[in-house]
A = this chain, B = another copy of it.
Amino acid sequence: MISGVLLDLAGVIYDGEEAVPGATDAVRRLRDAGLPMRFVSNTTRSTKPAVLDRLARLGLSVAADEVFTPAEAARRWLAEHGRSPHLLVHPNLVQEFADLSAGLPKAVVVGDAGEAFDYPALNAAFRELIAGAELLALAPNRTFRDSDGKLSLDAGAFVTGLEFASQKSAIVLGKPSQPFFRSALATMSCPDDQAVMVGDDAETDVAGALQAGLGHAVLVRTGKYREGDERRFEPVPTATLRDLSEAVDWILDTRTP
């Protein structure tokens, strides 16, 4: 049975400024069914208030504490470990780190910096790493579906390159890290084996959730999905479905054993 739902955002609920067809109705059907749900996103080009605004413009009323972002997880990590961030992130995200202490030992924080991934910025981050800084990856995703409809390089490529050059391993804050999934689950009082994750990334959403111990993970054929993704990563999805609307049908059918 299923008693709690984690939903990805980009590629599942919206693509850019547009809702994925049927997605907002699907979210409302989950709400009406009384199923607790949380939103877990690896998007690191928008602040959390911007994410909430976008959901509101699509007619979805979502509370701030229902949304989990890698930037929040990074802020907690930096505070717990007494580190100041050296940022390699999208300009939109810089303000999320503005109030943190400066002057402490550094940790390099890598998000999807987009055009800000240039040689001087990457090399400056590399030099911090070999001088002793830890490497924090907001998200390790390989690709995302860009505004022109094509796949583009996501932060994972740059994280992997920095790991290779510095011979350090990144600490992943967002999906597929187990603590990230667990921080969302912990707010729903839902047993792991009764939780389902719905996402368009077969690796970080689906295989990641199953590896983190969730009972179910549904891959949707929207967003960045490419033919064959359901066979490309282990563990394979519990189900691979057309979109969030079909996923919600499946969840409501599977809800009671």
Set of chain B residues within 8 Å of A163, measured between Cβ atoms: 160
Cα of A124 to Cα of B120 in the assembled complex, Å? 19
- The stretch of A23-31, A43-51, A147-155, A182-190 that contacts the partner chain: A147-155
Rounded to whole Å, the gap between the CB of A120 and the closest CB of chain B is: 7
By a CB distance below 8 angstroms, the chain B residues around A118 are 115, 117-119
- Whole-angstrom distance between the Cβ of A6 and the nearest chain B Cβ: 25
Is the beta-carbon distance between B165 and A156 smaller than 8 angstroms? yes
A residues contacting the other copy or chain, number (CB 8 A): 30
Kindly identify, within residues 112 to 151 of chain A, every residue whose CB is under 8 Å from any CB belonging to chain B: 113-120, 122-123, 126-127, 130, 142-143, 150-151
> Which residues of the other chain, B, contact A39 by a CB distance below 8 angstroms?
none
Instruction: Determine how many copies of this chain the complex contains.
Output: 2
Secondary structure of the A contact surface, majority rule: helix
Option from B115, B117, B119, B126 in Cβ contact (under 8 Å) with A115? B119
> Is there an interface contact between A157 and B153, defined as CB atoms closer than 8 Å?
no
C-alpha spacing A184/B62, complex, angstroms: 65
Verify B115–A153 contact, CB threshold 8 A: no
Min distance, Cβ A94 to any Cβ of chain B, angstroms? 17
A162 within 8 A of B: yes
The answer to whether A115 and B120 touch across the interface, beta carbons within 8 angstroms, is yes
**How many whole Å from A44's CB to the nearest CB in chain B?**
14
Instruction: List 15 additional contacts besides A115-B120, A119-B153, A142-B165; criterion CB under 8 Å.
Output: A115-B119, A117-B118, A117-B119, A126-B152, A127-B150, A127-B151, A130-B151, A142-B167, A143-B165, A153-B161, A153-B165, A157-B164, A160-B160, A160-B163, A161-B161
Residues on A lying within 8 angstroms of B by beta carbon are 113-120, 122-123, 126-127, 130, 142-143, 150-154, 156-158, 160-165, 167
Q: Could you list 13 A-B pairs, sorted by A, with CB under 8 Å?
A: A115-B118, A116-B119, A117-B118, A118-B118, A126-B157, A127-B152, A142-B164, A143-B165, A153-B165, A154-B165, A156-B165, A161-B161, A161-B164
